[in-house]
Chain A
Amino acid sequence: MIEVLDVTRVYQMGLVEVQALRGVRCSIQQGEFVGIMGPSGSGKSTLLHILGLLDSPTSGTVTIDGTDVGLLKEQEKSEFRLNHLGYVFQDYALVPELSVRENVVLPAMARGAPPDTYLKESEEILRQVGLGHRIDHRQYELSGGEQQRVAIARALINRPGILFADEPCANLDSNTSRTILNLFRELNEKYGQTIIMVTHEEWHEEFMCRVLYMKDGLIDGEKACKMRENKN
């Protein structure tokens, strides 16, 4: 569970102070698929970065599964990210010199998992995301959608408690986006994976449990999505 309490984030841009977050307060339950939406400059990416320990709030606290992450040192944050969090970025961010499998196993290797375990797990996850036949391929041999699925597999290899996705479909066409979002939904519904995703597209809402709307650095509203409401 994530608890966000009065989080502010102020950037100094030259002589100008930019208030990206102005006291955000929210909580996200385990197993939720939460979307963060809002216009450009509303603070959605800043919030995602703070929740994902990629940035620190100017004030306020973020608690993840009982840990006040603001108190962690840089090294501890790195370990926390490795062991508890997963990330999917807009442009996949794969290591071009590594094969699909090697990209996926990298976080598990860094965690010190035994090779037998991570190799088996990587095959399983890659099959899960529909890339079982592309294991030994390189990035340049994959389509955008396939690269994003590799990034998702990489994010899942350490079985993270929370998966963060920063506009994961921004570079994909609508069909491929749907494939990725279906994958997220499947992960969420079937395995109870907590997912927090920033997106611009309203039609993505149908895949989520809940959407937080942001405006001017604050959560302006939220709604439970229809499809999930119907399902529940």
Chain B
Amino acid sequence: MPSQHFSVALFLAIRSIQRGNRFTFFLTVMIMGLVFVNLVFLPSIISGVVVNFNSQSINYNYGNLVIEPRENEVYISGVSEVKQKISQIPGISGSSPRFSAGATYHYHDNQLSGQITGFNPRYEQEVTLIHTKMKDGDFLAEGDTDSIVLGTSLAGNIDERLDQVDSLGGVTTGDSIDVTFSNGVRRTLRVKGIIESGVYSVDRTAFITLKEIESVYGLSDTATILLVKLDGDGQEDKYKRILMEYGIAERIRTYQEKGLGFVNDAIRSFEIINAISTMVSLVIAIVVIFIVIFINTINKRRQIGILKAIGINKNIIVYSYIIQVFIIASCGILLGLLFSSGLVLYLTYKPLMFPGGAVLPVVEAGSIIRSIMSLALVSLISGFIPSWKTANEPILDAIRGN
């Protein structure tokens, strides 16, 4: 493209925007901005769900890695030896053996089945953040016996209308509840504290010390799983290999592998919704830009014909429309970024509440770049087609409006 073509096209485009119909310009920019928000917003919520799920998985459910019993075995036996091996590996900040079993809780006339987990409170604090989420009372201590800590949705409320799921009907710290373990042993335990983590699986579970549960099942130095916490996230696969190299023969899974299923299905569904929403947004952008430029070129058909007649190259005319569309799309993208930032800021202070807890939107650079590229591309294409069509009309047809 000769440089004078570009400078004339730029000149015409800028003047057209400066002195043309400002209402149409601002309206188009506004629509582009909203389309951009739509392109960025849903992926940011999906990313937020993923980040939320990952952090909950690591901080409350699994740590970074989970060691499980060998195939065809129910328990990890010789846990202290496994833990000893793990403690020698640099980059691992802690490990916590857990023993989980089914149990039925009895409180007054209420009876509820669920899961009970035993752990060593000191080790657990090296791995998860459950101890930081005490709503009431205290976390378990290493030597505690006959004590239990309940998740808040398991403990429930006296006013059952406040419960989102079935509960024990308002257990409070200091109360005693009866627990029937899966082997039939029944014990009365004093409630030492109530946990409110916002993580459904934690708030629905009861916790006792490992020592207590081992005494119930008559086992020692055993666990159903062993959680491993790394110094930093994102190196799970590497440490999985290292653990194997250190001679741990049990099954090792990353927290992502453990979470496969429910969350992945949810994310997949989200992504389908996002794809549909993205497509609809882009179609709206295409239609808006196409209509704006189409009406503009139809209204200026005669003028375009005259410009061609006086020797203005048709490419200059097409470029001038493409530049206009580029300016509209750029302003729309900037406005969209502004709107999105405002929305993200708002939702950071007032997060969306999902069943898995509060979800903060996470805007990823890749999603922004994809949105910018796709919006710019569809805008340019939908601006190019009508301007090219009009600029290629025979001069006299354009001038006469045939």
In the complex, what distance in Å separates the CA atom of A109 from the CA atom of B399? Answer: 22
A79 interface residue per 8 A CB criterion = yes
Query: Of A75, A93, A111, A155, which contacts B303 at CB under 8 A?
Result: A93
Find residues 5-22 in chain B having any chain A CB closer than 8 Å to their own CB.
Answer: 5, 7-8, 11-12, 15-16, 18-20
A81 interface residue per 8 A CB criterion = yes
B310 interface residue per 8 A CB criterion = yes
In the complex, what distance in Å separates the CA atom of A85 from the CA atom of B312? Answer: 12
Query: Of B12, B316, B395, B396, which contacts A95 at CB under 8 A?
Result: B12
Interface core residue of A75, A86, A95, A107 (most chain B CB under 10 Å): A95
Residues of B contacting A107 in the complex (Cβ-Cβ under 8 angstroms) = 310-312
Query: Of A54, A78, A79, A102, which contacts B15 at CB under 8 A?
Result: A102
Q: Are A87 and B310 in contact, CB atoms less than 8 angstroms apart?
A: yes
Query: Of B16, B19, B303, B396, which contacts A49 at CB under 8 A?
Result: B396
In the complex, what distance in Å separates the CA atom of A169 from the CA atom of B311? Answer: 22
* CB of A49, distance to nearest CB on chain B (Å): 6
A119 interface residue per 8 A CB criterion = no
Q: How large is the interface on A (under 10, 10 to 19, 20 to 34, 35 or more residues)?
A: 20 to 34
Residues of A contacting B395 in the complex (Cβ-Cβ under 8 angstroms) = 54-55
A10 interface residue per 8 A CB criterion = no
Q: Are A82 and B19 in contact, CB atoms less than 8 angstroms apart?
A: no
B2 interface residue per 8 A CB criterion = yes
Q: How would residues 296 to 314 of chain B score, 1 for a CB under 8 Å from any chain A CB and 0 otherwise?
A: 0000001100111111111
Residues of A contacting B313 in the complex (Cβ-Cβ under 8 angstroms) = 75, 78-79, 82, 110
Nearest to A86 among chain B residues (CB) is: B310
Query: Of B8, B20, B309, B396, which contacts A87 at CB under 8 A?
Result: B309
B164 interface residue per 8 A CB criterion = no
Q: Are A82 and B311 in contact, CB atoms less than 8 angstroms apart?
A: yes
**5 further interface pairs, Cβ-Cβ under 8 Å (given A49-B396, A106-B8, A155-B310):** A82-B313, A97-B20, A106-B310, A110-B4, A154-B310
Binding site for B on A (CB under 8 A): 49, 52, 54-55, 75, 78-83, 85-87, 89, 93, 95-98, 102, 106-107, 109-112, 138, 154-155, 158
* A–B pairs, 21, beta carbons within 8 Å: A49-B396, A52-B309, A54-B399, A78-B308, A78-B313, A78-B314, A79-B313, A83-B311, A87-B309, A93-B303, A95-B15, A96-B19, A97-B15, A97-B19, A102-B11, A102-B15, A106-B312, A107-B310, A107-B312, A110-B312, A112-B4
